[in-house]
Each structure stands twice: as structure tokens, then as C-alpha cells.
Amino acid sequence: MRRIAALLLVCAAGAAEASDIRASREFLSFDLRAQQDDPSRHPGWLWVEQGETMWSRAPASGKPSCQGCHGDIATMRGVSARYPQVTPTGEVINLEGRIERCRADNQQAPAFGYESEWLLSLTAAVAARSRGLPVSVATDGPAAAAVLAEGRRLYTTRQGQLNLSCAQCHDENAGLRLRGDVISNGLGTGYPAYRLEWNGMGSLHRRLRACSLGVRATQFSYGSPEYLALELFLADRARGLPVETPGLRR
């Protein structure tokens, strides 16, 4: 994209420090932010509602519905703020992965699949219970530290035909304009989010794939170890800032 090349002419000096990182909502226009805050006008809530309906629906296998084991969906408050999680053996599980695992192990039902209406709805519904709560992902222990390091490496390494790293846009040039967009800190705290560009809801991994495509780099697959490591790094970077799911994005 030639327009990203133009960006290099307006590079600000230096990398963003932790105190420079701001919530994604602060980078939205006045109109979009108002819409994100208005549940009567924000289409993302349609998916949250669909997810709430699914929560109490038992699978065909006869195993319990989500409600059957977890009780009311209100018990999911705070859960999304602690994802993704890293097991002691170094496996990274994000919220989508956790839901799919529950579905397979406890409901004996087939996986929904990334970007399916069903997985987006259920993930959005669970994550919405943490809306406004500070991101508080756990990164202690050697396993998590290794994943975090890998995520940081991906974030700071130049990639693609445009030879740009995430940091160059989202740290060094956050707040500046790139065509019609204002570059955010790229936190990902609003995902699954309703994106105008997609005319619908999408996951964080879908957004990351769009970013990869944007710099003409290899797009990793949904749920790939690369995007999961990056997801952990982004969550760590967003520590203390509010979960915004369902987010509204351009």
C-alpha cells in the first residue's frame, strides 16, 4: 500500500512508553465513540444478544448448555479480562479457544469454527461481561514469559513487503493520521468488534490478519501460535485499560 509509504515521511521520533498507551476508544472519532457507547445504535450488541441466547441452549448431544454448568452468564464477569491464558506447559488459550475446548470436552459438540456467527456471538457475549473492567492477564511463570517474549518479538520485528513492524505504527505513530484513519495503539481490547469495513463482527485474529495483509506480510491462520503469542503480548500491553468488547471500529 503506497499510502503506508507516505507514513514514513511523518514518523514521530522515538517509541511510545507505557504511559503513552491509551485506550482504543480514545482514538475513535467523536461520532464513533458516541455510537460505541450507545447500545441502541451499536450493531455489536446484536451478536452479544445472540450469544446470550446460545448460552442457555443445550447442544444436540444432550450434554448441558453453558448455563447448565456455569449458571447465569453474569458469572462470566471478569473472565475475558484474564485472557489469553498460558498453561504451565506453554500452551496459549484465548477466549475463542477456551469456548471451543469446552464445547468439545464438556458438550461433546463439534467446534463452531473461527469467524462463525456462533463463535463470534458466544465470545462477544462472554467478553461483554468484562466490558469496562481492566485487562489483567497473567504473565508470571517461565511458560508465560517465553510466550510474552515471542509476542514482543513479533510486535517489534519488521515484516512484509512494506517492511514495517507493529511498533512503528502503533507506538511511534499512534495518534497520527494514515489516510482517513487515526492510528491507535493497536491494543485489541475491543474484540470481537463490529468493524464498518467488514459490515459485521470479527475476531482479533481476523483484525491481525488484516494488519498482516496491510504490510504485505504472511497472514498466519486463525488461532495460530503466532497470533496467540501476539495476543498475549497485546493484552499485557493493555494491562489496566478497559475491555471494550463489543468494540466499534472502522
Partner 1 sequence: MATIAARITMPETAKKGEIIEIRLLVRHPMERGIDAQGAVSVRRQILHTFRVRYAGEEVFHMDLSTGIAANPYIAFTTTAVETGEITFEWVEDGGAVYQRSAMLTVT
Partner 2 sequence: MARTRGPSRRDLVGGASLGVALLATGVKTAHAQASSDESFEQAERAILSGRTPKAAGVEIVMPQLSENGNSVDITVTVASPMTAEDHVRRVHILAEKNPFPRVATFHLTPRAGRAEVSTRMRLATTQEIVVIAETSRGELLRAQREMIVILGACVDGG
Round to whole Å and give the CA distance between 233 and 53: 32
Exactly one of 66, 166, 169, 211 is catalytic; name it.
Answer: 211
- Rounded CA gap, 16 and 230, in Å? 18
Q: Does 180 bind partner 1 (CB under 8 A)?
A: no
Name the binder of 176 from partner 1, partner 2, none, CB < 5-8 A by kind: none
Residue 160 CB, shortest distance to partner 1, in Å, is 22
> In angstroms, what is the minimal distance from the CB of 40 to partner 2?
6
Neighbouring CB atoms inside 10 A of 230's CB total 26
Grid cell in block for residue 109: 459438540
Task: Kindly state whether residue 39 participates in binding partner 1, applying the rule CB under 8 A.
Answer: yes
- Among the candidate windows 34-42, 126-134, 179-187, 216-224, which touches partner 1 by CB under 8 A? 34-42
79 forms part of the interface with partner 2 (CB under 8 A): no
Q: Give the other-Cβ count within 10 Å of 3's Cβ.
A: 11
Q: Which does 54 bind (CB under 5 to 8 A by kind): partner 2, partner 1, none?
A: partner 2
The answer to the question of residue 4 lying near partner 2 (CB under 8 A) is yes
From the list 1, 32, 49, 109, which residue makes contact with partner 1 (rule: CB under 8 A)?
49
Whether 166 is catalytic is: no
Kindly write down the DSSP assignment for every residue of 221-238, as one continuous string: PTT-HHHHHHHHHHHHHT
Cα–Cα distance for residue pair 106/37, rounded to 1 Å: 35
- Find out whether the peptide bond into 110 is cis, omega within 30 degrees of 0: no
- Which residues does the annotation mark as catalytic? 211
